[in-house]
Amino acid sequence: MVLRIQYLKYRVIPGGQLEPYFLSQDDDTGIASRLLEHLESFKEKPRCEVDLEEPVTWVPDIRVARALVATALSRFYEFTPRHLEEFITKNELLGFHKLGITSLEELRFWFWRFVKERYNGFIPRSERTQVYTLANQELGLSSPETLKHLLIVHREDYMLLHLRESRPSPEEFLRAYNYEVLETLLYHSESVSITLAKGSLGTAARTLLRLTKRFGVLVDLEQNNGGLRATIAGPRLFFGRSSPFGWNIAQVLTSLLKEAGPLGIQIGDFTINVVLRDRHYIVRLTPATAPSFLPRDEVREEAFLDSKVEEQFYWSWHSNKYRGWDVIREPDAIVIGKRLMIPDFALVKGDNKVLLEIVGYWREEYTRKKLEQLQMLQTHGLRDLILLVDRKYKRHFTKCPYTTIFYTRRGRRYDIPYGKVLKVLPE
């Protein structure tokens, strides 16, 4: 969930910096506890009876109050639709089934057809009572008011408030709110720089490359005081044109926050370039100033990159081990000055090792960025690299400094010329 901008509390610091308002587990647990108790008191009640405005009267800031309610309804509580069997008897339900009616939606369709056939689709005000009475009789309902009620209980106002799973603690609720604030900033960002420390920098780099590929954004990696500095942005931003890739950036950071702990990666400072109401700001968070976050269990599905060509190449080569050459997925990082690069594959035979990079991303800006990286690699002396490129980008690779082999997509499969790859490998 992304909070509405009007729910986001922050202050602007001279120099174009923005300081978001997070809640503290030392000072604000009472607010979280009271709001949870408030929602608990309305469980199983219809939305029209749930007072979502009362927290505004006792939470110190109206924006925070509305953001807390939005967080609760997004993460822990939900309004669920009503069902036909809640309102009628078992015998009435059997009668409905004989008419082919098994849900409230099917009942509305039945009534629409009933009015269309009997009254040409229009009921004069003077005849409404009669129409409902006749329909009520045909449906076999015992009460004349039941049908009127059944035709409106699908509306949002009649949905019931339920707890999604277990009730969160006040501390978990605060961490969830803080995360929603962070994700809202990321959603409205153009780019994010993040420092990763401890753990294996190679693991950190591979994790980031996998996530940025998955969600269709680019990342630049460089070593920084023993750690790893990553800049994540939408493809177009690297070429001086902004574009709305904040959703993708937010998904990368959400996934990274979830994976960092198990991988032993420590996240240092964030620098977020935010655009709010057409104004640019910088948000800086350090381990000392950032609160504890509670990301969601699920991460929304990616929308951009299809890496099936990489999977097809890997499993085909791994299964066949063409001419004795084995394949390693995402080998160790290549360090070029302070920059890091991890190629897609390494082809290995004895002491011979040749790197292979697949270029199949559908945005033209990505291929241009990739060419810049390749030219830098060539300048720093990297020689043993093969490129496997989608044929539709052939025009961009006419002056590429490395051996370039083209593949073609055919339906759901890829025509990969493994023989041409073998020809350029050492004997």
pLDDT of residue 307: 67
SS3 387: strand
* Residue 366 is assigned to a structural domain of this protein: yes
- Span 75-89, mean pLDDT? 93
- In this predicted model, which residue has the larger pLDDT, 328 or 237? 328
* Residue 56 is assigned to a structural domain of this protein: no
Residue 132 to residue 286: CA distance in whole angstroms? 65
Same domain, 317 and 393: yes
pLDDT category at 33 given cuts 50, 70, 90 is very high
Tell whether the model's pLDDT for residue 302 goes beyond 50.
no
* Residue 120 is assigned to a structural domain of this protein: yes
- Span 124-133, mean pLDDT? 85
Same domain, 292 and 319: no
- pLDDT tens digits for 325-334? 999 987 777 7
- 382: exposed, middle or buried (C-beta count within 10 Å: 0-12, 13-18, 19+)? middle
Domain boundary, last residue among 284, 303, 322 = 303
Both tokens assigned to 336: 């070029």
Both tokens assigned to 353: 């090792």
Same domain, 402 and 313: yes
Tell whether the model's pLDDT for residue 122 goes beyond 60.
yes
- In this predicted model, which residue has the larger pLDDT, 246 or 283? 283
Strands (E), 198-317: 218-224, 227-233, 266-276, 279-285
Q: Which residue in 77, 151, 156, 155 sits closest to 114, CA to CA? A: 151
Domain boundary, last residue among 274, 303, 332 = 303
Tell whether the model's pLDDT for residue 305 goes beyond 60.
no
Same domain, 293 and 319: no
* Residue 371 is assigned to a structural domain of this protein: yes
CATH classification at residue 391: 3.40.1350
pLDDT category at 53 given cuts 50, 70, 90 is very high
Residue 285 to residue 181: CA distance in whole angstroms? 13
* Residue 79 is assigned to a structural domain of this protein: no
Same domain, 196 and 144: no
Same domain, 285 and 382: no
Q: What percent of the chain has pLDDT over 90?
A: 42
pLDDT of residue 67: 96
- pLDDT tens digits for 172-215? 999 999 999 998 998 888 889 998 876 667 778 888 888 887 78
Tell whether the model's pLDDT for residue 171 goes beyond 60.
yes
For every residue of 413-426, DSSP letters joined together read EEE--HHHHHHHS-
* Residue 194 is assigned to a structural domain of this protein: yes
Same domain, 281 and 330: no
pLDDT of residue 400: 85
Same domain, 288 and 313: no
Q: What is the pTM of this model?
A: 0.70
pLDDT of residue 341: 75
Same domain, 291 and 249: yes
Same domain, 341 and 407: yes
Same domain, 295 and 358: no
Tell whether the model's pLDDT for residue 407 goes beyond 50.
yes
* Residue 271 is assigned to a structural domain of this protein: yes
Q: Which residue in 395, 322, 305 sits closest to 356, CA to CA? A: 322
Q: Which residue in 169, 161, 156, 176 sits closest to 40, CA to CA? A: 161
Tell whether the model's pLDDT for residue 228 goes beyond 80.
yes
Tell whether the model's pLDDT for residue 238 goes beyond 70.
no
Domain boundary, last residue among 268, 288, 303 = 303
- 180: exposed, middle or buried (C-beta count within 10 Å: 0-12, 13-18, 19+)? buried
Tell whether the model's pLDDT for residue 317 goes beyond 90.
yes
* Residue 232 is assigned to a structural domain of this protein: yes
Tell whether the model's pLDDT for residue 395 goes beyond 60.
yes
- pLDDT tens digits for 253-266? 888 888 888 878 88
Both tokens assigned to 5: 């901008």
Number of structural domains (the chain) is: 3
pLDDT of residue 299: 54
- In this predicted model, which residue has the larger pLDDT, 168 or 221? 168
Q: Are strands 218-224 and 227-233 parallel, antiparallel or unpaired?
A: antiparallel
Tell whether the model's pLDDT for residue 364 goes beyond 60.
yes
Q: In Å, what is the CA distance from 233 to each residue of 194, 228, 277? A: 12, 16, 19
Both tokens assigned to 427: 């004997």
Under 8 Å between Cβ of 339 and 221: yes
Tell whether the model's pLDDT for residue 304 goes beyond 50.
no
Domain residue limits at 102: 84-153
Q: Calculate the CA 30 to chain-centre distance.
A: 31
Same domain, 217 and 296: yes
Contacts 24+ apart (CB under 8 A), 348-353: 349/323, 349/324, 349/325, 349/425, 349/426, 352/425, 352/426, 353/384
Tell whether the model's pLDDT for residue 167 goes beyond 80.
yes
